[in-house]
Amino acid sequence: MAARLRVCVVGSGGREHALAAALQRTADVVVCPGNPGMQALGIACVSRPPETIEADLFVVGPEQPLVDGIGDRLRDAGNLVFGPGAAGARLEGSKAWMKEMLAGADVPTAAYGVFDSAGPAIEFLRSLSPPWVVKTDGLAAGKGVLVTEDLDEACADVEAKLAGVSFGAAGRLVVIEEGLTGPELSLMAVCDGKRAVPLAAAQDFKRALDGDKGPNTGGMGAYSPVPAVDDDDVAAIMNGAVTPTLEALADIGIDYRGVLYAGLMLTPEGPKVLEFNVRFGDPETEALMPRWKGDVSEILAAAADGRLDSVAAPEFLPDAAVCVMLAAEGYPAAPKTGQPIYGLDSWKADPSLHLYAAGVGPGLTTAGGRVLAVTGLGETIGRARERAYEGAGRISFSGVQYRSDIAARAAG
Ligand code: AMP
Ligand code: GLY
């Protein structure tokens, strides 16, 4: 039997916890830096720079270090890395560049314009019909997008973003898009530079409040599989969006090894790409990982090594998974931190219920906007939902907020 791989997962949130838990089935895993909640739940965490850690494989979780070039630095030092270099990560780091790449690769996406001054931006907005969509060009933790039926609000948002008020330098360029409608879908693919293989489809919930109300967040929950999406739909998205994008990257010399995550809207004219992310989705990963069968480390290592053709494609349990995110009071605008969390230290592991620590600080207190993710598994989405909410009820902290309608519609 091959020796167990030593895997270092870079990051500190719920996504990294879920990745580590799945990788740990077949590999020796450390998370760098992780957080005290993960540690309490049985994941080894080390707070040294990743460059100082010896591992057979590095898996980078968040977008910011990828955009900043951690993939290049680790690879240049001779490591095997699952995660693109800075050139590929620009797909997420600049929405304007991403739109240009999609247009060049003939990938269906919303019509758009890119602006660095308010006058022409507002003129373009006025030429479109509602809903109006204003995006910050750079990284904004999922919060740089405004979708509104109110033209005045859209114009004010353009001014605020371009003035650097809302997102600093990341907002000095805005992308304005045609408003699309339809259900949303997240499809992540594992890429080895030349080939891409899909993971199970998932759906996330970006708005803070029930009924898709309130501000956009990093994600308040997710579920998988998505009943409205079958294997043919997944194949069509791979052929129409993911593979052409990977090829377009390769054409300009980018050897993209990592996750290509397509955020799509299933419009009446077919699926259109809203965004590409260059890493695993959060909280889609918290829903997906417990469903992923077999050796996750083997597949990620093969992708990082450019030889996905040497391993079997990812396979998923037939069970449904529903993830509910427990957020801090005041999230997303001004999360209140430092609250003691009850129920985490007495959490009992269970194959149908998983707890992932996202924003947990020393002494098991709240330390971020999204604090914990609870994922339930079940034979149906309804059963998985019940499990997840039952689990959510076992955790408490002052001001805890979570949506009560995650996957409710899909459960029927
Ligand atoms: P993004 O970060 O680009 O995926 O945008 C965040 C969210 O804003 C998406 O999940 C959609 O709900 C919404 N959104 C983004 N682009 C559009 C669009 N062109 N039309 C309608 N809604 C959009
Ligand atoms: N769940 C959305 C994201 O990871 O960007």
Confidence of residue 6 (pLDDT cuts 50, 70, 90): very high
Is the distance from the beta carbon of residue 182 to the nearest atom of ligand 1 less than 6 Å? no
Q: Does ligand 2 lie within 6 Å of residue 284's CB atom? A: yes
Report whether pLDDT(144) > 90.
no
For 122, residues 6+ apart whose C-beta sits below 8 A from its C-beta are 155, 158
Closest CA to 172 of 94, 64, 98: 94
| Residue 219 near ligand 2, beta carbon < 6 Å | yes
pLDDT digits (tens, 9 = 90+) for 168-190: 666 689 999 999 998 899 999 99
Residue 266 pairs with which residues in a beta bridge? Answer: 271
Q: Which ligand is closest to the CA of 219, given by its number?
A: 2
pLDDT score for 391: 97
Q: How far is the CA of 335 from the centre of ligand 2 (A)?
A: 19
Q: Where are the beta strands (DSSP E) in 51-183?
A: 57-60, 81-82, 112-115, 132-136, 145-148, 174-177
Ligand 2 atom 5: residue of nearest CA: 281
d(CA 259, CA 281): 9
| Among the listed residues 293, 205, 199, the one whose alpha carbon sits nearest the alpha carbon of residue 237 | 199
Token duo for residue 192: 């080895």
Ligand nearest to the CA of 111: 1
Does 167 score more than 70 pLDDT?
no
Residue 184, ligand 2, Cβ within 6 A: no
For residue 396, list its beta bridge partners. Answer: 342
Is there an atom of ligand 1 within 6 Å of 381 CB? no
Residue nearest to atom 3 of ligand 2 (CA): 281
Check residue 308 and report its DSSP letter.
Answer: G
Beta-carbon count within 10 A of 234 CB: 20
Poorest-pLDDT segment among 163-172, 205-214, 375-384:
163-172
Q: Is 177 in the pocket of ligand 1 (CB under 6 A)?
A: yes
Q: In one letter, which amino acid is 243?
A: T
Q: What is the DSSP string of 27-66?
A: SEEEEEE--HHHHHTT--B--S-GGG---SEEEE--HHHH
Amino acid at 149: E
Residue 383 burial class via C-beta count within 10 angstroms: exposed 0-12, middle 13-18, buried 19 and up: middle
Q: How far is CA 289 from CA 137, 201, 263, 355, in A?
A: 30, 12, 18, 12
Give nearest CA residue, ligand 2 atom 4: 281
Taking CA atoms only, the protein residue closest to ligand 1 atom 10 is: 206
Per-residue pLDDT tens over the stretch 256-307: 999 999 999 999 999 999 999 999 999 999 999 999 999 999 999 999 999 9
Q: Is 185 in the pocket of ligand 1 (CB under 6 A)?
A: no
Beta-carbon count within 10 A of 71 CB: 29
pTM more than 0.85: yes
Give yes or no for residue 198 having a pLDDT over 90.
Answer: yes
Q: Give the pLDDT of residue 102.
A: 96
| pLDDT tier, 145 (very low <50, low <70, confident <90, very high otherwise) | confident
pLDDT value of residue 127:
94
Q: Is the pLDDT of residue 1 over 60?
A: no
> Which among 97, 99, 102, 147 is the best mutation to test ligand 1's pocket, defined by most ligand atoms within 8 Å of the CB?
147
Q: Which residues contact 402 (CB under 8 A, 6 or more apart)?
A: 220, 221, 324, 325, 326, 327, 392
61 or 412: whose pLDDT is higher?
Answer: 61
CA of 197 to the centre of ligand 1 (A): 24
Q: Which residue's alpha carbon is nearest to atom 2 within ligand 1?
A: 142
Rounded to the nearest angstrom, the distance between the alpha carbon of 270 and the centre of ligand 2 is 21
Which of these, 16, 41, 42, 18, lies nearest to 31 by C-alpha position? Answer: 16
Distance 177 CA to ligand 1 centre (A): 9
- Cα 284 from Cα 278, distance rounded (Å): 14
Tell me: pLDDT of 163 over 90.
no
Could you tell which of 95, 124, 274, 284 is best to mutate to test the pocket of ligand 1, judged by most ligand atoms within 8 Å of the CB? Answer: 274
Residue 258 to residue 39: CA distance in whole angstroms: 26
